[in-house]
Amino acid sequence: MEGAEAGEQEWAAVAQDLLALGYEGCPGAASPGTSCPDFRALCARLAAELATLGALEREREEGTEALSAGDGPGAEEEFLRQLAGLLWDLQCPDRELCGGDCAASLREPDARLRLLRFLCSEVQAARLLRLRSRLDPNPEPSCGEGAEAGSGMVQELILTLQALGLPRPTRGTPACQLLRDLHAKISELLPSLPPESLQPLLNHPLDAPRWEALASLSQSLRDQYGCRRCLLLKRLDLTTSAFHWSDRAEAQGEAMKAVLIPIREALTSESDISIAHVLAARADLSRLVPATSKTARRGTCCAINKVLMGSVPDRGGRPNELEAPMPSWQSRREDGGGRKAGRQCWGRKKKKK
């Protein structure tokens, strides 16, 4: 009885999250799962919003749906096939949903609950990212102390307050008071999260020597990847400059510069990854799936992989098959009308008769 009540409470929490996102009609634990058209329609609506917000990595053809609910005899099989690719695009950390028999897993109410919860969290994150892109690049500082440290930190603070549902603080609010309010709100919301969620990737306590070692390692990686980024940016500059050598580019030179210069100026060799990103990383970030695995190929295979290249002409270019030219001396020509020194020429040396 206690387990059934806990399951009903979890379904009620998911239904509340869906209502907060503007979705109604949560199927509930008694739903038959993927064979239920309402369940497939709800997942398809969530996937459609994710595609609209740009949260899917794979480029989809114009007019195709990210997840099709369907209503025909093969609708459930098509839904499961597209769902596997969708979860791969979103890098779902749930191994039961991404690997193995997804259809068998979704027959259980707990698996369907985890699927809806994951899609809801992805929609919430995609909406926040879209909101972040629409923010004023120079927002008004929300607190008095240290507000002039940079607009980037202020933007992150505004997004945190909006995600937690806290009001924007007035000017002059001490930073310590703002941090206490954030801590209190987060402590209030943590018990409502599912168990084993938001597990940190770095779960070992750090003392002073470890902090110093971590800072040194972070700086070494920043220097190394900064050098690599400089190399890639130099290659990019050389590649783009080569497009200006053609005769056709002379007429389109200004238009090309108008497109390339803003993009190039936004690319710098400095990395914005810091120790704070390591501390904020979740445990599912370390989940690596080989690109050649069956699970990955299920979402990336396409018709172009079956096209075989025909025979191509031999372009040569093998130095070991070429005979190096040897210098030789030719004798002085007598019909030159004067005494000339022998000259050096390249070619094969004639044999003496």
Angle (nearest 5°) at CA 252 between 248 and 254: 145
Listed residues 242, 267, 286: the one ending a domain: 286
Is there a domain that residue 234 lies in?
yes
Tokens 């390339």 label which residue?
A: 260
Task: Show pLDDT as tens, one digit a residue, over the chain (353 residues).
Answer: 455 566 677 777 878 878 888 887 666 555 666 778 888 888 888 888 888 887 776 544 444 567 777 777 778 888 888 888 888 878 888 777 876 677 777 778 788 888 888 888 888 888 888 777 665 444 444 444 444 444 567 777 888 888 888 888 777 777 778 888 888 888 888 888 777 777 888 888 888 888 899 889 989 999 999 999 999 999 999 988 888 888 777 788 888 888 888 899 888 888 888 888 888 888 777 777 777 777 677 777 778 778 887 887 887 778 777 777 777 776 666 555 544 444 555 555 555 54
Are residues 7 and 131 part of one domain? yes
Which residues contact residue 261 at a Cβ distance below 8 angstroms, ignoring those fewer than 6 apart?
none
Are residues 212 and 117 part of one domain? no
Dist CA 47 CA 116 (whole Å): 11
Dihedral of CA atoms 39, 43, 46, 50 in degrees, nearest 10, equals 180
Are residues 216 and 121 part of one domain? no
Is there a domain that residue 25 lies in?
yes
Listed residues 258, 286, 314: the one ending a domain: 286
Q: Which residues pair with 200 in a beta bridge?
A: 282
Q: What is the pLDDT of residue 216?
A: 92
Are residues 127 and 17 part of one domain? yes
Is there a domain that residue 43 lies in?
yes
Q: Is there a contact between 127 and 53 (Cβ–Cβ < 8 Å)?
A: yes
Dist CA 304 CA 297 (whole Å): 13
Are residues 130 and 26 part of one domain? yes
Is there a domain that residue 243 lies in?
yes
Count the alpha carbons within 13 Å of 192 in the hemisphere toward its beta carbon: 12
* Tokens (6 digits) for 268: 């710098």
pTM (two decimals): 0.42
Dist CA 17 CA 114 (whole Å): 13
At residue 282, the 3 state secondary structure works out as strand
Q: What is the pLDDT of residue 333?
A: 60
For the chain, the domain total comes to 2
Listed residues 235, 257, 286: the one ending a domain: 286
Q: What is the pLDDT of residue 220?
A: 92
Is there a domain that residue 281 lies in?
yes
Domain of residue 120: give its range.
1-135
Is there a domain that residue 260 lies in?
yes
Amino acid in position 276: A
Is there a domain that residue 191 lies in?
no
Are residues 118 and 218 part of one domain? no
Are residues 217 and 111 part of one domain? no
Are residues 219 and 125 part of one domain? no
Dist CA 107 CA 91 (whole Å): 22
Closest CA to 113 of 190, 19, 21, 8: 8
Are residues 218 and 124 part of one domain? no
Is there a domain that residue 75 lies in?
yes
